[in-house]
Amino acid sequence: MLNKFFPQITQTIPFEGKESKNPLAFKYYNKNQKVGNKTMAEYLRFSVAYWHTMMGTGSDIFGGPSFKREWHSSLNLIEKAKFTLDAAFELFQKLGIDFYCFHDRDIAPEGESFAQSCKNLEIIVEHAKTLQKETGIKLLWGTANLFSNPIYSQGAATSPNAHVMALASAQVKNAIDATKELDGENYVFWGGREGYETLLNTNIKKEQEQLARFLHMAVDYKKKIGFDGQFLIEPKPAEPMKHQYDSDAAATLYFLKEYELLDHFKLNIEANHATLAGSSFEHELAVASAAGKLGSVDANRGDLLLGWDTDQFPTNIYDTTMAMLIILNQNGLGKGGLNFDAKLRRSSTDPIDLFYAHIGGMDAFAKGLLIAHKIIEDKVLSNFIEERYKSYNNGIGSKIMTGEVDFEDLDKWIRENDKPLLKSGRQEMLENIINSYIL
Ligand code: XUL
Ligand code: CO
C-alpha cells in the first residue's frame, strides 16, 4: 500500500460495526457485505472529488488558504501535480474507495498556451494510468474546468465570442481524450458559466443553440473515438452565473429533448444544487429517475440557512435513506456512482480531517442503503402507493388511461357516478413508518 502522505493512517479504514467508538472505523460501510443481490461497494460506488479533496486549501471569499498540504510543496508544477496524484491514490486506498473524479485543470496545471496545457494533461494522465494499474482504482468521471479561467467569464460554449466557444470545445475534446485514456466510466458536463448575468446583453435563444451545438459536437466526437462512457449533465440553477441554463433536472431534460440530445445524456444530480434550485435532493433524484435518466450523484449537502453552495459532506440519514430508496428502486446507478463533491470546512485544517469527512459520508450512505433496502423488501411504501392508484387498474380508470373515453364520455359517466370518495393520503402514518425503520 502507498504510504507517504498520510502516515497516521497505517491501514485501510476497517469496518468495526455500530458499537465501535473508533472515529477512524466504519460503523455501517462494510464493503463486501451483500445487500440483496449486490455488495455495498457495488451499490454505492463511492468516489473522491479531486478538486475539493486534493486541491482544496480552505480559502473562501473572505480569506486565503487556511491549510497547506504537503503534496503541494514542490515549486515545479508538474512535480507538484504528480505528488498530488500520489497522495490522492494513497488516500483512496486507505479509505477503501474505488473511484475518483477530476477536472482537467485539477490534475494537471494550465500552461502558458493551450498546447502546453494539453501536453501537461497528457503527462499527468500517464502518471494516473500507472497508479490506476497499480491500485485497481478507477476513474468514475472526468470533466473540463470551463469556469476558472477569466476568458470564460461570459460563458464557455455560450460565450458571445466564437473564439472562446472554439477554445472551450477544444478543451473538452482533450478532457474527453484524457477520460477515455483512463477508462473513465462517465464524462460530466457542468455548465459553470453557461448562463447569464443580465438580459441587457444576452440573447438566450442564441446561447441555448450554441450550448446544444457544443453538446452535439461532443456526442459526435464520442462516437468517432469510440468512447463508451456515459455522458452526464449536472444541473445547477445559479452560482457562478445568476441564471444557469441547466437549472434543474426538469429544465435540463426539456433542453435535451428540445435539441434532440436526450438519447445521449443522463443526469448527475447533486444534493446541494437541488436545494439551491428550491427543491429537495430526493425531488431531483425522483424527477431524473422517473425519466430513466438518473445516471450518477454528487453526494454532499447544503446548509438550508445559507443560500449558497456550501458543499458539505453528507451526514443526514433521512436524506441518504430517501436517496437510496430512489436509487435502489431503479436497481442502482449503472455506470454512475456517489461522488463526494464535498469539501472540508475552512477550520478543518488537517489531512486527517479528510478521513473523518469521507468516513462520515460513506457511513451515512451505507446506513441509508441498509434502511432503504429493508423498506423496499417489506414493501411498506410500494404496497401503499400501488393501492393508492388502484382505481386506474380497471373500470373507468383504465378506460381513461387507454384513451377509450373522452371528455364527453366522462361528462356522461360522472352524472351517473357522482361524488368520488375522498381518501386519506396518510402522510403522517407513512412518515412514522419511515422513522421506525431509521430509528
Ligand atoms: C460545482 C460542481 C462542480 C461539478 C463538476 O457546483 O458541482 O464541481 O461537479 O464540474
Ligand atoms: Co458537483
pLDDT value for 236: 98
pLDDT value for 4: 95
Distance 349 CA to ligand 2 centre (A): 22
429 pLDDT band, cuts 50/70/90, is: very high
Locus of grid cell 500507472: 130
| Rg of the chain (C-alpha set) | 24
Residue 118, pLDDT > 90, answer yes
Residue 189 one-letter amino acid: F
Predicted confidence (pLDDT) per residue in 231-261, tens digit: 999 999 999 999 999 999 999 999 999 999 9
User: CA angle, 80 as apex, 78 and 81 as ends, to 5°?
Assistant: 65
Give the DSSP H or E segment for 40.
helix 40-44
> Domain spanning 34-378: which CATH class is it, in words?
alpha beta
pLDDT value for 1: 82
Known active-site residue 103: yes
207 pLDDT band, cuts 50/70/90, is: very high
pLDDT value for 238: 97
- The answer to whether 296 and 326 are in contact (CB under 8 A) is no
Known active-site residue 52: no
Locus of grid cell 429517475: 289
pTM of the model: 0.97
Whole-number Å distance between alpha carbons of 229 and 433: 39
Distance 69 CA to ligand 1 centre (A): 22
Look at residues 110, 173, 113 and name the one whose alpha carbon lies nearest to residue 143: 173
| Residue of 52, 98, 103, 298 with catalytic role | 103
Distance 55 CA to ligand 2 centre (A): 15
pLDDT value for 2: 85
Mean pLDDT of 180-191: 98
Whole-number Å distance between alpha carbons of 99 and 182: 12
- The answer to whether 317 and 367 are in contact (CB under 8 A) is yes
* Mean of all residue pLDDT scores within the chain: 98
Where do the structural domains in the chain lie, given as residue ranges?
Answer: 34-378, 391-438
424 pLDDT band, cuts 50/70/90, is: very high
Residue 85, CA distances (Å) to 94, 136, 304 in order: 14, 14, 34
Whole-number Å distance between alpha carbons of 371 and 328: 11
Predicted confidence (pLDDT) per residue in 266-309, tens digit: 999 999 999 999 999 999 999 999 999 999 999 999 998 998 99
353 pLDDT band, cuts 50/70/90, is: very high
Distance 108 CA to ligand 1 centre (A): 17
Pocket around ligand 1 at a 6 A CB cut-off: 103, 143, 188, 190, 234, 236, 270, 298, 309, 341
What residue owns the CA closest to ligand 1's atom 8? 341
Helix axis angle for 407-416 and 395-402, nearest 10°, is 170
Which residues 6+ apart lie within 8 Å of 411 measured at CB? none
| Residue of 98, 104, 106, 311 with catalytic role | 106
